[in-house]
Amino acid sequence: MIDFITLCDYSGTFAFAISGIRLASAKQFDWFGAYVIGLVTAVGGGTLRDLLLNATPFWMEQASYLTVSGLALLFVIIFKKFVIRLNNTFFIFDAIGLGLFAVVGIVKTLEFGFPMWVAIVMGTITGSFGGMLRDTLINEVPLIFRKDIYALACVFGGFIYYLCTFTGMSSSIIQFITAVSVFLIRVIAVKYHVSVPVLKGEES
Amino acid sequence: MIDFITLCDYSGTFAFAISGIRLASAKQFDWFGAYVIGLVTAVGGGTLRDLLLNATPFWMEQASYLTVSGLALLFVIIFKKFVIRLNNTFFIFDAIGLGLFAVVGIVKTLEFGFPMWVAIVMGTITGSFGGMLRDTLINEVPLIFRKDIYALACVFGGFIYYLCTFTGMSSSIIQFITAVSVFLIRVIAVKYHVSVPVLKGEES
Amino acid sequence: MIDFITLCDYSGTFAFAISGIRLASAKQFDWFGAYVIGLVTAVGGGTLRDLLLNATPFWMEQASYLTVSGLALLFVIIFKKFVIRLNNTFFIFDAIGLGLFAVVGIVKTLEFGFPMWVAIVMGTITGSFGGMLRDTLINEVPLIFRKDIYALACVFGGFIYYLCTFTGMSSSIIQFITAVSVFLIRVIAVKYHVSVPVLKGEES
């Protein structure tokens, strides 16, 4: 039986891969290129985290991440028009993935014996570096630097995790609260157009 | 005496470095910048592979890769007009390098105890990530996502390697067959304009 | 009491972070995005060095680098007009950082048992890779490939370090000489517009 965390993990991977594949298709990439972009979007953050932690990259221990990214490609090819209309659904998946990836990054970093502030950085990297790589590879300025609250939701989630550790709650409840917080911060930020002030350019 | 594999390795490094230096020269880089781009193109794939495998990057154990890239720079500076006419020769070198790099990536990954599917990914990374870095650094959308069969030739090569392991052939013969296959797939794909279907953009 | 090396290290980090934040502000990044760019500029080179050396990235062992980058962001927000006029001051800081980062890269690599030529490469990576990442993330062709002597100053510094090892000087004096050399090469190159010849494009 597949457990809840694994289900979230696969949903997040699927949603992240879809976001990469859709952007690649807008740039006329071929199927293979789109697959690579989708895969990089989905596993890029966790890979950088594992390199920094000196751990074996997670996707090298289990083929399912490559498979899920492949299913995402198939899905986009088959249901192309459908996919465009499903914007909101994918946004929700993506936000779930963000919350879960942030928690995975935090937990794994603490397990490796690093202090909380490193774990917050790693949660943020796990959640947002894949999207940054995606945008760099398709030659765009990374969206996460310019729009809405994305990586920052992971940072807030990290602080919430930290605060929860003082309450005596069980670690699975803390993880759940953190993931939900990241998800809600992201959804609320987009719905109400909450954003960080722009640092005005020197020319202006 | 220099053996056949080493000769191929140096030829591939030389050809990969040349491709980076030529693209850098088209963007008006200075000599040093062009050298860096050439070096990154030549060793980038193997470096990412070694980081992921948690091995010491191969070029840190032997200065010859830096030297070969330097020779490639000298070659471009001295024989500039010649180099332009040699397009076909360099294409052949590049395809040889691709085949050999893919095999090196597969073999090293299997030696580290990873399963075949990881080895196929690593062969592909070894062969194609350098070119991807090159294109990102000179601020272009990576060519390998849009044109011909390049990284995909390494993937096919990996499957051929895998199939060969069931035949009882010696490992050096399997390696030779794989390298030749990648080379041929690449050459045939370019000659007959075989390509992967483009994933049509959402706008179209 | 804070020692001289630490003071230089923080000044360099501050100056590198400022350079990232200023470029990010010219591209209308928000505060968080600008902070990330500043941080990446400041710690990117040392992080790649540590990954290649298979060491724990230095900023994961001490929170001060994140703090200094945060102070750089505050500084730019508060003293915006001031910052623009301080171009020359920041150039000096940046050159100090370059010299110090190069020395740190060289020393750490030799401590890990690698030969001098690897140390020279690592000194150059430590000094210049952060700026390269910065330019790639904000979607520009890296400046260091096209303007003045920047990374190359680290290479020269490495050779000077190597020559000094034959003189019997104490290692702290060698380090000081190297850092000052890199600083001076950089300053003189900019002041007198010394640059490496451009590799003429194939079209020209």
Confidence of residue C123 (pLDDT cuts 50, 70, 90): very high
pLDDT at residue B85 greater than cutoff 90:
no
Cα A124 from Cα C34, distance rounded (Å): 15
Q: Is A37 in Cβ contact with B145 (below 8 Å)?
A: yes
Contact criterion met (CB below 8 Å) for C120 and C106: yes
How far apart are the C-alpha atoms of B194 and B185, rounded to whole Å? 10
Q: Is the dihedral of CA A46, A48, A54, A58 positive or negative?
A: positive
Which residues have a Cβ under 8 Å from the Cβ of C137 and sit 6 or more positions away? A132, A136, A141, A142, A145, C37, C40
pLDDT 10s digits, A146-162: 666 888 999 999 999 99
The least confident of A24-38, A42-56, A83-97, C10-24 is A83-97
- Side chain identity at B44, as an amino acid letter? G
Q: How confident is residue C3, by pLDDT bands cut at 50, 70 and 90?
A: low
Query: Under a CB-based contact definition with an 8 Å cutoff, are residues B166 and B175 in contact?
Result: no
> Which residues of B are less than 8 Å from C144 in CB distance?
33
Q: Are A22 and B203 a contacting pair at CB < 8 A?
A: no
Amino acid, res. A145: F
The residue ranking higher by pLDDT, C80 or B2, is C80
CA distance B29 to chain C (A): 5
CA–CA min distance B160, chain A (Å): 18
pLDDT at C199 (0 to 100): 76
Q: Kindly state the average pLDDT of the residues B102-121.
A: 94
Name the residue of chain A whose CA is nearest to C38's CA. Answer: A145
Spell out which residues of chain B touch residue A52, defining contact as CB-CB under 8 Å: none
Separation of alpha carbons C165 and C171, rounded Å? 8
| pLDDT band at C1; cut points 50, 70, 90 | very low
Q: Chain centroid to CA C74: how far?
A: 21
Amino acid B119: pLDDT: 96
CB contact under 8 A, A136 and B132: no
Q: Per residue in B26-46, pLDDT tens?
A: 888 888 989 999 999 999 999
For residue A154, give the 3-state DSSP assignment.
Answer: helix
pLDDT at A4: 65
Q: What is the pLDDT of residues A21-58, one digit of tens each?
A: 988 888 888 889 899 999 999 999 999 999 999 999 99
Among chain C residues, the shortest Cα distance to B80 is held by C202
User: Residue C107's pLDDT band (boundaries 50, 70, 90)?
Assistant: very high
Closest listed residue to residue B100, CA positions, set B180, B199, B14: B180
pLDDT at C168 over 60: yes
Residue A60 has pLDDT above 90, yes or no: yes
Contacts 24+ apart (CB under 8 A), B19-22: B19/B90, B19/B94, B19/B131, B19/B134, B20/B130, B20/B134, B21/B72, B21/B73, B21/B76, B21/C199, B22/B76, B22/B83, B22/C202
pLDDT band per the 50, 70, 90 thresholds, residue A63: very high
Taking residues C4-24, report their average pLDDT: 84
Which residue matches tokens 């994933």?
B199
Cβ separation of B196 and A47 shorter than 8 Å? no
User: Contact A66/B132, CB-based, under 8 Å?
Assistant: no
CA distance linking residue B22 with residue B28, whole number of Å:
10
- B156-181 pLDDT, tens per residue? 999 999 999 999 898 889 999 999 99
Proportion of chain C above pLDDT 70, given as a percent: 92
Share above pLDDT 90 across residues of chain A, in percent, rounded to a whole number: 53
Determine which of C45-59, C64-78, C188-202 has the lowest per-residue pLDDT on average: C188-202
Task: Give me the phi and psi of A140, to 5 degrees please.
Answer: -120, 155
The domain limits of chain B are 4-191
Handedness of CA C141, A32, A93, A87 (dihedral sign): positive
Q: Answer for the pair B31, B77: CB distance below 8 angstroms, yes or no.
A: yes
Please answer yes or no on whether B145 and A77 come within 8 Å at the CB atom. Answer: no
- Model pLDDT, residue A10: 85
C9-16 mean pLDDT = 86
pLDDT of residue B92: 83
Using an 8 Å CB-CB cutoff, list chain B residues near A29: 145-146, 198-199
Q: Which two structure tokens, joined as six digits, stand for C115?
A: 């030969």
